[in-house]
């Protein structure tokens, strides 16, 4: 396997510190507001990564921190007239609800900053003792000038770092120094420390908690690309100066979710392009002359990363419209390091693609009588290995499995893997078609066995990235499961079948159209008629 490492800006062979074991630390949310989709990107990606690593055979420990003490939290609490702890508790619950709606149940620890004051204070003291930090009037700062390697993660040099040092400039030796401990102002939540009452700085909790749960050096540290500097850079500085060894072997950063803005809707053309034949412009003309004029420009300014977008809706709202699996699929279809433009239109598009799979699962059940979701699927890669028979379809199944592994082994290329899954469903549908399994039923045991093999490989592969683990109830299709509704539909279908038998197509079509008008779709197949509720 190969993994892209921010530290080296290259894909590197994946090796672990301890054989067979992987420790992952992912920077989690500051719980001051309900999470938006941007907060789910990392967890979804790393949930898939952890599943895949376990599938490959590793024993994985995954930690996601909860930042429950922070300036933003204090502000929010003041604004709402609540305690900081109350706000944190409320938003942590929201975060957990979102995670479980996404099927993310692989996180082993959710350490909270407020529950690790002892570790944080010890860590800070250690840095002071070693001469890497200094106390200054109630605050404690990390002395960036003492760290020769400072800037190695983000590729910045100290000289290049200007900045006036923020509000605490007068207490710092250098403007680039950052707070490990912040003295409390009157009325602020605080914890006692050797330097007076205060709270931890932004970066220190991660260093302290990661060290406690995963050890001084662990395998993978992840987070959004926006955290590379200063957050991760400072974590590296603190931890490595404190322990004298690397913090993490691999730094994995996911691309950010972008608010797509309205540019493409307004201008029709999305990206502004140079007009064909426009002079190669050695004269750096003002960009405006070459771009799509007026309306598009204005709207494009709304675009940007979703964390800053005012329009970022709460994730819980999104879940009212789309199944968690749809959102996961949407994210996984793009490589994790690439930025993604968020738009509901895109999600709806992906939803249609997903339907191909769901339909196949239904079809599989009609043909074999087996539920796709209870198919035995290999949990470990070597368990799923098989030698294909001479059957061409079985050989193709084998080949798709190989290609899926190849994609995932190369820096977790879930997009490539999903493309392969699509090819696999098509192969299986074609097989059912050409062998007429739908009408002849289970008559040909050998053919059915090939289909089962294909379906279980599908399940095996999809499960490695957290897909198709359990049936999905799409928002807005409630009622479909009611017993009474089921019986009524059965009645409609029988009446209509009679009409069709008597070539009374007007009645048959009337029933179908009438049901379609209220969102129920009938489909006639060789082996009967099925019904589904559209949202």
Site for RNA, residues 384 to 413, rule: CB under 7 A: 407, 410-411, 413
- Taking the C-alpha atoms of residue 322 and residue 324, their distance in angstroms, rounded to an integer, is 6
Per rule CB under 7 A, is residue 183 in the interface with RNA?
Answer: no
Per rule CB under 7 A, is residue 27 in the interface with RNA?
Answer: yes
- Out of 415, 441, 475, 519, the only residue in the binding site for RNA (CB under 7 A) is 415
Cβ distance to RNA smaller for residue 225 or 472:
225
Write out the binding residues for RNA, residues 428-457 only, by CB under 7 A: 429-430, 432-434
Per rule CB under 7 A, is residue 101 in the interface with RNA?
Answer: no
Q: Given the rule CB under 7 A, which of 38-46, 54-62, 379-387, 451-459 is the region that contacts RNA?
A: 38-46
Q: DSSP assignment of 118-161, as one string?
A: HHHHHHHHHHHHTTSEEEETTEEEE-GGG-TTTTTTTT--TTT-
Per rule CB under 7 A, is residue 186 in the interface with RNA?
Answer: no
Cβ distance to RNA smaller for residue 39 or 50:
39
Per rule CB under 7 A, is residue 418 in the interface with RNA?
Answer: yes
- Taking the C-alpha atoms of residue 46 and residue 58, their distance in angstroms, rounded to an integer, is 14
- Taking the C-alpha atoms of residue 497 and residue 509, their distance in angstroms, rounded to an integer, is 11
27 neighbors 65 (Cβ within 8 angstroms): yes
Q: DSSP assignment of 438-452, as one string?
A: HHHGGG-HHHHHHHH
Q: Closest separation between CB of residue 158 and RNA, Å?
A: 11
- Taking the C-alpha atoms of residue 239 and residue 25, their distance in angstroms, rounded to an integer, is 14
- Out of 18, 80, 265, 426, the only residue in the binding site for RNA (CB under 7 A) is 426
Size of interface with RNA, in residues (CB under 7 A): 102
Give the 3-state secondary structure of residue 435.
coil
Per rule CB under 7 A, is residue 201 in the interface with RNA?
Answer: yes
Write out the binding residues for RNA, residues 209-238 only, by CB under 7 A: 223-230
Per rule CB under 7 A, is residue 341 in the interface with RNA?
Answer: yes
Cβ distance to RNA smaller for residue 17 or 519:
519
φ and ψ at residue 223, rounded to 5 degrees: 165, 175
- Out of 97, 112, 335, 452, the only residue in the binding site for RNA (CB under 7 A) is 335
Q: Closest separation between CB of residue 428 and RNA, Å?
A: 8
CA distances from 348 to 323, 325, 354, 417 (A): 11, 12, 10, 20
Give the 3-state secondary structure of residue 41.
helix
Q: Given the rule CB under 7 A, which of 13-21, 210-218, 277-285, 368-376 is the region that contacts RNA?
A: 277-285
Please compute, for residue 341, the number of CA atoms within 13 A of its CA located in the half-sphere on the CB side.
Answer: 13
Cβ distance to RNA smaller for residue 60 or 66:
66
Write out the binding residues for RNA, residues 471-530 only, by CB under 7 A: 500, 505, 508-509, 512, 521-525
């Amino acid at each position: 396997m190969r993994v892209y490492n921010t530290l080296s800006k290259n894909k590197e062979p994946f090796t672990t510190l301890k054989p067979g074991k992987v420790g992952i630390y992912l920077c989690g949310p500051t719980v001051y507001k309900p999470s938006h989709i941007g907060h789910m990107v990392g967890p979804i990606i790393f949930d898939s990564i952890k599943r895949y690593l376990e599938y490959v055979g590793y024993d994985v420990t995954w930690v996601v921190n909860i930042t429950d003490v922070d300036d933003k939290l204090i502000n929010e609490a003041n604004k709402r007239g609540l305690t900081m702890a109350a706000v944190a508790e409320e938003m942590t619950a929201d975060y957990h609800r979102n995670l479980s709606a996404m099927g993310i149940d692989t996180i082993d620890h959710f350490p909270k900053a407020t529950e690790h004051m002892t570790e944080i204070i010890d860590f800070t003291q250690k840095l002071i003792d070693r001469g890497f930090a200094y106390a200054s009037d109630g605050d404690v700062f990390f002395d960036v000038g003492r760290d020769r390697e400072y800037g190695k993660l983000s590729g910045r040099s100290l000289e290049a770092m200007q900045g006036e040092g923020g509000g605490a400039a007068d207490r710092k030796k250098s403007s680039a120094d950052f707070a490990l401990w912040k003295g409390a102002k009157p009325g602020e939540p605080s914890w006692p420390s050797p330097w007076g009452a205060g709270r931890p700085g932004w970066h220190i909790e991660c260093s302290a908690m990661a060290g406690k749960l995963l050890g001084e050096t662990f395998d993978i540290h992840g987070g959004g690309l926006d955290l590379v500097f200063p957050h991760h850079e400072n974590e590296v500085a603190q931890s490595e100066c404190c322990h004298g060894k690397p913090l993490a072997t691999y730094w994995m950063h996911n691309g950010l979710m972008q608010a797509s803005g309205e540019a493409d809707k307004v201008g029709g053309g999305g990206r502004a392009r140079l007009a064909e034949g426009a002079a190669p412009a050695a004269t750096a003309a003002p960009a405006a002359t070459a771009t799509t004029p007026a309306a598009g420009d204005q709207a494009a300014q709304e675009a940007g990363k979703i964390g800053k977008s005012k329009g970022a809706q709460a994730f819980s709202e999104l879940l009212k419209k789309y199944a968690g699996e749809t959102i996961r699929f949407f994210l996984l279809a793009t490589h994790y390091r690439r930025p993604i433009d968020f738009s509901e239109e895109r999600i709806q598009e992906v939803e249609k693609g997903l339907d191909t799979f769901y339909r196949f699962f239904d079809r599989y059940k009609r043909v074999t009588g087996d539920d796709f979701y209870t198919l035995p699927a290999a949990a470990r890669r070597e368990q799923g290995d098989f030698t294909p028979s001479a059957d061409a379809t079985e050989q193709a199944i084998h080949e798709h499995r190989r290609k899926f592994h190849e994609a995932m082994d190369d820096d977790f290329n879930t997009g490539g893997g999903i493309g392969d899954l699509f090819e696999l469903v098509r192969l299986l549908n074609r097989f059912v078609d050409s062998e007429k399994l739908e009408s002849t039923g289970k008559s040909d045991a050998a053919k059915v066995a090939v289909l089962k093999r294909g379906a279980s490989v599908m399940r095996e592969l999809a499960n490695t990235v957290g897909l198709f683990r359990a049936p999905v109830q799409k928002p807005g299709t409630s009622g479909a499961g009611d017993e009474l509704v089921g019986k009524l539909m059965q009645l409609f279908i029988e009446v209509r079948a009679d009409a069709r038998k008597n070539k009374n197509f007007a009645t048959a079509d009337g029933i179908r159209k009438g049901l379609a008008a209220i969102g129920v779709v009938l489909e006639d197949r060789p082996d009967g008629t099925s019904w589904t509720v559209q949202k």
